[in-house]
Structure 1
Amino acid sequence: MNKVGFSIAVLSLISSLSLFASDDFTGQWSGQEKNDNGSLYSTLTLKLKQNNNNITGSYCYVTRGGNKIDCPEGDGSNLKGTANGKKALIEFDSAFGGVKGKASLELKDNKVLWKLIKDAENGEFYAPKAYALDKEVNQGDLKSDMKVFSTSDFTITLVNGCGGFYTVCDKAKYFGLRNKDGKQITLNGKTTQPANSNTADGMIFNNNGVGYIVRFNPLELKVIQGNKILVEQSGKWEL
């Protein structure tokens, strides 16, 4: 695999997986259920915004193979609620006239778990009893949190899971490619930063006693085991 292909593959992986835990309910969450024959039965999409403990947004439930669509018009809002840590209680209105339905939400294992508590009143509604939803990741946001650099022997993609790339963070990812044979490695780590600073100047990762140290300025990769330096190479940013 070449450098460009590796970088695209890593970006695709990050886009399809939730690598880092969500701090609150803000974002677009979606899930789907399939029939026994593999065809799509339903989808649920939640667009949520959390401000302190207050949640606003919308739910859109499409079921029965697309024959029932319970969604607000345009960018309308049809739910509100209150968060308490990783749990929330919301109230929702249906596009079919039902109002004041209630559901609980829970952030668990990088998913939002929906559970219907009370049916909507005074009209029809379509909402699932239980559903698991994954967060949709914006690729534009990812690119600002991700950088790719190369050395003479390696191509490395670094991801900061706390926001901007230079944010101090204990949720960093290292995707490494050895250019000569295509061998890959994925590591978890954290940023390094000067004392009393909120700006990262590098990242550090550990793999069974082997340390992978990346310095941003000047850009460098160093791999050490105990007091022995296994790799020490300067790099250049590719992305």
Structure 2
Amino acid sequence: MKPRLCIIVPVLNEGPQLAERLSALQIFRNRGAHVVVVDGGSHDDSLAIAREHADLALLAPRGRAAQMNAGAAACPAPVLLFLHADTVLPAQADQLVADACRRSIAWGRFDVHIDSDRPLLHWVARLMNLRSRLTGIATGDQAIFMRQELFQQVGGFPDLPLMEDIAMSTLLNKLSAPVCLRTQVRTSARRWEKHGAWRTIWLMWRLRAAYFFGADPAQLAIQYGYRPRDPQ
């Protein structure tokens, strides 16, 4: 049967927690969704784990945009949901997305909760959700979803090493305003905890401002900590 929803998960060296994350998606697979994991060349056992716990696991050039585009191309579902490997969907996510699409809303995202007891990170999440609601710009942590036809219409995610979610939101906003679901996804606080909350907040605001004023996304990705993609 053709799946009604495709959940696309880009991964890179996510082995230690990937089995648990993918097991949490089994509830959606039981209800007719397909889970597609796209590995960007992990050096651990991410791909092997994905083959055990997903409907499809494949390799693609490293970078979330390229990986998500490859996942979308491999899944014929009418609705696509793009999920970071460290983000957990609410149990009714598939129904919420289906309801939104039935209301002729072409794309949208969830509110996000950062999985931490630190009050500062609770405020960070609230501000992320508010900013998104005011601007129509969604971040990858918010589990962006859209109709397949709209994804095709805009040509998929721009193949950027960073800020692909902002670039995609900008394209989509030209066609349709998003639905901003208040139901929350939970995303890991690991980056904030590893690098420090204030330092990470400052870095993200600085990179977003630089991108807005035309900085090269490849250079921003290096500042963020991404390793450049190997030449083809």
Query: Which structure shows the bigger proportion of residues in strand conformation?
Result: 1
User: Given the two structures, how large is their TM-score scaled by the length of structure 2?
Assistant: 0.26
Higher RCO (Cα < 8 Å, 6 or more apart): 2
Query: Which structure shows the bigger proportion of residues in helix conformation?
Result: 2
User: Given the two structures, how large is their TM-score scaled by the length of structure 1?
Assistant: 0.25
